[in-house]
């Protein structure tokens, strides 16, 4: 069948595109892992009746993390300590935050919260490394990235995935219908 031309060759992109494909797929997995850890942390906070999300839109931002670390360490915070840990407009919500921190955090909750926070930090560090490598691999393809970004809804991350999955040379494909 091969000699008769009945088998169409498969698309094998260049090594840098294959490497980028591995990294973008791994990045997607790491993002799912980070989301799963964040959901687990939310569940622990709900179970412990800590209502931080009522007053902090992103508990994984700077202020939220500072409060989560304090909760994890078993600290009982007063108004001044909370005000010191939070940034921006949250300083005006100190009484509400104190009330939100008044839950029933048990030893088990703290242990689980610590595990999830540690794992989330690890996953975020891995994400930074992967994103750095993706950016390095994108350097030679910046004109294509810039062109892809002109499409509404496509940003740099999506452009990297498109390049990683399809490559930079469309001549491998027969034309528009095959793509």
Convert the pLDDT of each residue in 43-97 to its tens digit.
999 999 999 888 888 999 999 999 999 999 988 888 888 888 888 888 888 888 8
Cα 30 from Cα 137, distance rounded (Å): 19
pLDDT number for residue 96:
87
Cα 161 from Cα 172, distance rounded (Å): 18
């Amino acid at each position: 069948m091969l000699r008769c031309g009945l088998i169409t060759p498969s698309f094998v992109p260049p090594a840098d595109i294959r490497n980028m494909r591995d990294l973008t797929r791994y990045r997607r997995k790491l993002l799912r892992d980070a989301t799963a850890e964040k959901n687990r942390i939310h569940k622990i906070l709900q179970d412990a009746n800590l209502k931080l999300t009522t007053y902090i839109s992103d508990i994984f931002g700077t202020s939220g993390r500072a409060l989560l670390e304090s909760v994890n360490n078993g600290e009982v915070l007063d108004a001044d300590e909370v005000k010191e840990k939070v940034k921006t407009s949250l300083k005006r919500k100190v009484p509400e935050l104190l009330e939100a921190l008044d839950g029933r955090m048990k030893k088990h909750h703290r242990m689980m919260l610590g595990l999830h926070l540690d794992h989330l930090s690890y996953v975020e560090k891995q994400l930074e490394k992967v994103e750095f490598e993706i950016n390095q691999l994108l350097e030679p393809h910046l004109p294509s990235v810039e062109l892809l970004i002109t499409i509404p809804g496509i940003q740099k991350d999506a452009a990297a995935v498109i390049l990683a999955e399809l490559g930079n040379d469309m001549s491998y494909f027969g034309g528009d219908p095959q793509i």
